[in-house]
Amino acid sequence: MKFYNYFHKLNGYLSIALIAVLFCSNSIWATEVSKHIGIFYYKNIFGHIHLNPTKDSVSLTTIACGHPLNVTDTFKSSGVDWFIVNIDKKKGYVLKEFVSNQKPLCFQEKYPKFFNSLNLDLTELYYWGRLYDQYVRGKSRVQ
Amino acid sequence: MKIIIYISILMFGLADLFAQSISPSTESSNEITQIEKEISVVDFDAIKNILQKDKLDQSVQNKQNEVNTIQEEREKKKLQLYHYPSESDFWSFASELWLVRNAPLLKWDFNKPDYGIDISFQTVLETIGYYEKKFHVLLVNTPTLSHIALPTNNDETLFIISVPFIRTMDLTKLEISILMLEDFFRLEKGYLYQFVKTSELVEIFGKNFYDKGVNPAVVNQVLKKYSELIFQKGFNFQQQFEVTKRMDSVLRSHLKLWGAYNTLLNKIDQLVKTNLLYDNYNRIYPSPEMQIKWLTPKAPLI
């Protein structure tokens, strides 16, 4: 009888624990899937979506100015703000300062025929995107 | 069960709405509108009398005016596609295009440590009273180009500095910043603009090329001029004298900075006299030895 009561109690605890685990896992899953900061647009002439949040990380893809990005989260690495974006069902990183929440007036959209006449090849598109990653930026301020 | 069905319908609706909001518009401004189709299909001249009799001639005229306005707007939009960049948009684009086209030669796409040049140069600018100045620095991994400031728009300056050049002379952050300041004044004086800005380029700024067709040779010529100045021709003695005097006048009241400039020029002078890799430097920036003389205060006559 005593053994039966003990077993019954244990069963009750296990059920509660199981429900708690299910609830937690469900809420974590829900957070990952539903987190969505918004649609942002790339600002520079060309750019890269990186595999990791570093400027020298591998490029997942090259994007052009005005490209819409589905931003799912933010990430801070060594004092630099990154946006986590979904691109071709993959997670990538783009520098926060390179994107805007409003569609920018891009050079290639402002002067499309002139820009097309340059006949940029794939290597040049890649390098143009890398250029913004390689810049060291600064600004003097009023003291 | 009903709730699940309602939620599903709601989610599908929202997803559809979201997809519509981010997908590009399918409606093109080049498509012929319904009213244009109507006007083109019906021969109103043939039924002119009937229209006048039914007092519909004014309505036809209104429609015709509306079609004319649509067609004018379309033509205007079409012409806008065929513009050369304005000068206010051109320089950043041209400098970046030159960097992209010369990327294999300049070797700027490489991993490098943070030298802290941004903070150091920012401090120098603030010390001499140059506020709200934006700048970009691109480090190159080649001795082919030692240092230069390239023209950009939006009140920014683009500096190119060679890492082998910095390392060979073991320059401090302050000396690198002083070197950048010299380039900053050189750019401010407009020597590079004067050399690169061809008459053909000035002619096309902001112009429309719908009738004539685009002339890519103009841009290629500008890029060639960039290369010619940066790799071969450089700056002349008069320009160097003016830049050195400008540096002298600005830095004289900041002894630490003036001293750093003097040390920098001495280091460069030694480099160009001893290192064959930099024997071209004197041709681009003539000459560190003369700059030191121009900078050194004249001894008072006794």
Q: What ipTM was predicted for this assembly?
A: 0.78
- Find out whether B91 and B154 touch, Cβ atoms under 8 Å: no
DSSP string of chain B? -HHHHHHHHHHHHHHHHHHHHHSPP---TTSPPHHHHHHHHS-TTTTHHHHHHTT-HHHHHHHHHHHHHHHHHHHHHHHHTTBPPPHHHHHHHHHHHHHHHTHHHH---S------HHHHHHHHHHHTT--S-EEEEEEES-SS--EEEE--STTEEEEEEEHHHHHHHT--HHHHHHHHHHHHHHHHTTHHHHHH--HHHHHHTT-B-TTT---HHHHHHHHHHHHIIIIII---HHHHHHHHHHHHHHHTT-HHHHHHHHHHHHHHHHHHHH-GGGTTHHHHS--HHHHHHHHSPPPPP-
Q: Can you give the pTM of this predicted structure? A: 0.79
Element (H, E) at A110: helix A107-110
* Residue A12 to chain B, least CA–CA distance (Å): 29
Q: Per residue in B194-252, pLDDT tens?
A: 999 999 999 999 999 998 899 989 999 999 999 999 999 999 999 999 999 999 999 99
What are the residues facing B134 on neighbouring strands? A139, B156
The SS3 call for residue A119 is coil
What are the residues facing A93 on neighbouring strands? A50, A84
Using CA coordinates, name the residue in chain B closest to A124: B100
Q: Which of A40, A44, A115, A134 to probe by mutation at the B interface, max B CB count within 10 Å?
A: A134
Residue B217 phi, psi (nearest 5): -65, -30
In this complex, is the C-beta atom of B166 within 8 Å of any C-beta atom belonging to chain A? no
What are the residues facing A139 on neighbouring strands? B134
* Residue B208 to chain A, least CA–CA distance (Å): 10
pLDDT at A33 over 80: no
* Residue B66 to chain A, least CA–CA distance (Å): 27
Q: Per residue in B63-118, pLDDT tens?
A: 888 888 888 888 888 888 999 999 999 999 999 999 999 999 999 999 988 889 99
Of A70, A117, A127, the CB nearest to B100: A127
The SS3 call for residue A64 is strand
pLDDT (0 to 100) of residue A88: 82
Query: Hey, are the CB atoms on A117 and B214 less than 8 Å from each other?
Result: yes
**B89: chain A residues, CB-CB within 8 Å:** 107, 110-111
